[in-house]
């Protein structure tokens, strides 16, 4: 398998490596850890949503059947392409097959992290991972929700999470949403791990309030919720500016609809300047490019954010439509 010696521009990554990359990428993503991927065809995908679920009717024998109407609407997920381009010295084309497989493995290792983080950063914050800037024409992303509660030095972090959950479970509009997942930034996980039970006089007891959290690393559950920890929740270090988000909770099972529309082969590039780093021939290099096409839609009213004190949008109510 002389991968780098082929004259074809498109080369297939060995299936064992490609499958492993896609599988492992899910472990790097809090979205994938809390919300199931679903099959999607390429292009825009429409989802029917019920604003008013139809009601069943018990009908006596011989009686007329009534009309069971229900209000519904539709939303559309859009394709979002992410890519990773890596450069190598041209000499790797002449290396042994084993060494070429090692190069592909390295590409897969870097790609699975990059593509997984891209899913979170795009779906949570509409952040372009390469530049750290927001993509202004993307109008559907989780952090567009109006449900926000700010952390405070005067209120324990767990109470802030409970308050955020209350915006969904006990909303002012009387239309409760499910809460089944919590994506948590390492800083918030550490703050929760630092909390202690209190003595009768209100002083800290020295006993950890949530001993299962340990030092706040690798949190998998909290207050009965499935949890996943990752710094993509805050958007750092990629974000050009701190988003202020430290926790995202809500309906990860039904509030996010996402899938992989296309897993593209590796592209071997020998000529030109594919990534703005200079002409390949001049630099005696080749480039390998790996692309993936996601599709997603976030029902923003089904999520609440735990934010830093300076976020400025405390305890707002999300709209009923889920539109950003």
Strand pairing of 196-198 and 256-263?
unpaired
pLDDT digits (tens, 9 = 90+) for 229-241: 999 999 989 999 9
pTM of the prediction?
Answer: 0.75
pLDDT in tens, 22-35: 444 444 689 888 88
Domain ranges for the chain, please list them.
3-49+72-311
In terms of pLDDT, which residue wins out, 174 or 110? 174
Of 12-21, 107-116, 184-193, 204-213, give the lowest mean pLDDT range.
12-21
Least confident of 1-5, 75-79, 93-97, 198-202: 1-5
β-bridge pairing 45-52 and 71-89: antiparallel
In tens, the pLDDT along 60-99 reads 777 776 665 555 455 566 778 777 777 777 666 665 666 6
> What stretch of H or E contains 19?
helix 15-27
- Residue 233: name the closest of 23, 34, 21, 83 by CA: 34
Q: Residue 212 has what pLDDT?
A: 85
Cis amide bond preceding 54, omega within 30:
no
Confidence at residue 309, expressed as pLDDT on a 0 to 100 scale: 81
Q: What is the mean pLDDT of residues 245-253?
A: 95
**Six-digit token pair at 25?**
């990428």
Is-contact 184 304, C-beta < 8 A? no
pLDDT above 90 (res 151): yes
pLDDT score recorded for residue 32? 86
- Torsion angle defined by CA atoms of residues 224, 229, 233 and 236, in that order, rounded to the nearest 10 degrees: 160
Q: pLDDT at position 318, please?
A: 43
**Domain 3-49+72-311 is in which class?**
alpha beta
- For 155-175, what is the mean pLDDT? 92
């Amino acid at each position: 398998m002389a991968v780098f010696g082929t004259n074809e521009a498109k080369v297939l990554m060995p299936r064992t490596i490609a499958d492993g990359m896609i599988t492992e990428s899910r472990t790097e993503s809090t979205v994938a850890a809390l919300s199931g991927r679903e099959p999607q065809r390429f292009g825009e995908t429409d989802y029917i949503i019920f604003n008013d679920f139809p009601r069943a009717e018990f009908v006596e024998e011989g009686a007329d059947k009534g009309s069971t109407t229900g209000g519904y609407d539709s939303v559309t997920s859009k394709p979002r392409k992410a890519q990773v381009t890596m450069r190598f010295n041209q000499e790797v084309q002449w290396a042994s097959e084993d060494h070429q497989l090692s190069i592909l493995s390295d590409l897969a290792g870097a790609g699975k992290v990059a593509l997984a983080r891209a899913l979170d950063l795009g779906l949570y914050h509409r952040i372009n991972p390469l530049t750290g800037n927001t993509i202004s024409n993307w109008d559907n992303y989780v952090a567009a929700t109006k449900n926000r509660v700010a952390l405070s030095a005067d209120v324990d972090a767990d109470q802030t999470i409970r308050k955020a959950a209350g915006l969904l479970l006990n909303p002012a509009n009387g239309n409760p949403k499910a809460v089944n997942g919590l994506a948590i930034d390492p800083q918030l996980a550490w703050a929760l791990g630092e909390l202690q039970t209190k003595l009768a006089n209100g002083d800290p007891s020295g006993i950890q309030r949530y001993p299962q959290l340990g030092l706040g690393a690798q949190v998998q559950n909290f207050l009965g919720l499935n949890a996943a920890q990752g710094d993509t929740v805050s958007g750092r270090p990629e974000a050009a500016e701190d988003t202020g988000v430290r926790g995202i909770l809500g309906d990860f099972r039904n509030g996010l609809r996402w899938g992989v529309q296309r897993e593209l082969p590796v592209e071997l590039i020998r000529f030109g300047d594919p990534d703005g780093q200079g002409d390949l021939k001049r630099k005696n290099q080749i480039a390998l490019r790996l692309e993936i096409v996601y599709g997603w839609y976030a029902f923003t009213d089904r999520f609440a954010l735990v934010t830093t004190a300076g976020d400025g949008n405390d305890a707002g109510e999300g709209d009923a439509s889920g539109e950003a």
